[in-house]
Homo-oligomer: A and B are copies of this chain.
Amino acid sequence: MEKVITIKEIAKRLNISPSSVSRALSNHKSIGLKTKTDVQRLAKELNYEPNQTAIFFQQRKTFTIGVILPSLSEEFFSSAISGIEDLANENKYTVLMGQSHDDVEREKQLVDTMKNHRVDGLIISISKNTEDYSHFEAIKKFGIPVVFFDRVPDLKDIHYVWCNIISGTTQAYNFLKELGHQSIGMINGPTNLLASKERVEGYKNALIQSNLNFDPSLIVSCNLSTKDVFKATEELLNNTNKPTAIIAFNDYVLLDAAKAAAKMKLKINKDISFVSFAHLPICHYAAHPPLASVDQFSYKQGKSAMEIMLQLLAKDRNENNESYIKIIIEPKLIVLDNTID
């Protein structure tokens, strides 16, 4: 544990002032060539490392982006954070990460921590139970820009990245319809999520396009837990208007739903077919893969969120930012090659 080298120390050893050392290191023109090389040589020799905490403090900027998401174990989010991180790193930013685990209290506490750490910005995908948004207001008032992605609150005055679930669901529906399915069910997510609302909207849109009537019993909601998915699947399959195909909220839901269907002695892809959302790698290894999965481009969503953030960061803090940046990403239905290999 050697003594940590500071600018002051270098200054003392060379008998010059700290300000000159600072300027020499940053190649300021007002420093003479000899002094410059002297300083730079000694700095390297002593293994000088600038104390970022001092710089952060002095510059009122931490080059840190807070990222809060529900859970990294969902591949969607781990992929999204990669998008954020990659772009962040390219721009000298680092990621301060926190998982809410869909716990509102923890989310609030994390926002608070981020605020105290003086992150330069916050990118967040909210917990599925979050309905009070005051903690975001608080951090915004503090001058820290907030960008939402994927799990976005239903508010007007926010920046966000959002995948066009409506069109994705319509695509999914039409895909199944063209395969000849007449009765198409849907296992949806928690009703308070915009993601769920838009799936319903996309579903209905497809019906309207085809001049079909809406049967509410074909859509069931669940809280995404395995148990609830099982229940939802059974409910759908026992429905009087029994679907021959189901649109699952995402790939995880699909896996459980297919399992449930198999347990009911149904042949997957024969008696009952599935389409889901996310298009995770697991689709290619699953016992019961979906016919297709709607790719929501998680990496791109993360990257886009960071793009918005960089724009906001470039802005003058005092500008009146009455405008909000919203990026809509078009999802893509990926038909899987399920030639069982």
A-to-B contact residues, CB < 8 Å: 1-2, 4, 47, 49-54, 56-57, 60, 62, 64, 71-73, 75, 78-79, 81-82, 85, 89, 94-99, 109, 113, 115-118, 138, 141-143, 255, 259, 262-263, 282, 285-289, 317-318, 340-341
A54 touches B57 (CB 8 A): yes
Complex CA distance for A74 and B81, rounded to whole angstroms: 13
Complex CA distance for A318 and B1, rounded to whole angstroms: 7
Within 8 Å by CB of A117, from B94, B142, B262, lies: B94
A72 contacts across to B, CB distance below 8 A: 72, 78, 81-82
A341 contacts across to B, CB distance below 8 A: 259, 262-263
Complex CA distance for A1 and B62, rounded to whole angstroms: 18
Within 8 Å by CB of A98, from B4, B49, B85, B113, lies: B85
A85 contacts across to B, CB distance below 8 A: 97-99
Given known A-B contacts A95-B96, A97-B95, A259-B285, A49 and B142 have beta carbons under 8 A apart: yes
Given known A-B contacts A75-B73, A82-B73, A85-B98, A52 and B286 have beta carbons under 8 A apart: no
Within 8 Å by CB of A317, from B1, B51, B81, B89, lies: B1
Cβ-closest chain B residue relative to A101: B82
Within 8 Å by CB of A118, from B53, B141, B289, lies: B53
A285 contacts across to B, CB distance below 8 A: 255, 259, 282, 286-288
A317 contacts across to B, CB distance below 8 A: 1
A82 contacts across to B, CB distance below 8 A: 71-73, 99
Within 8 Å by CB of A94, from B75, B98, B262, B263, lies: B98
Task: Please name 9 pairs of A and B residues whose Cβ atoms are closer than 8 Å in the assembled complex, sorted by A.
Answer: A49-B116, A72-B78, A73-B82, A82-B99, A85-B98, A95-B98, A282-B285, A285-B288, A287-B340
Instruction: Looking at the assembled complex, report how far the CB atom of A93 sits from the nearest CB atom of chain B, in whole angstroms.
Output: 10
A2 contacts across to B, CB distance below 8 A: 141
Instruction: Looking at the assembled complex, report how far the CB atom of A316 sits from the nearest CB atom of chain B, in whole angstroms.
Output: 10
**A-B contacts besides A53-B57, A56-B57, 16 pairs, CB < 8 Å:** A1-B143, A2-B141, A47-B141, A49-B116, A51-B118, A53-B118, A64-B96, A73-B79, A75-B75, A85-B98, A85-B99, A89-B98, A259-B341, A285-B287, A285-B288, A287-B287
A73 touches B78 (CB 8 A): yes
A50 contacts across to B, CB distance below 8 A: 116
A96 touches B94 (CB 8 A): yes
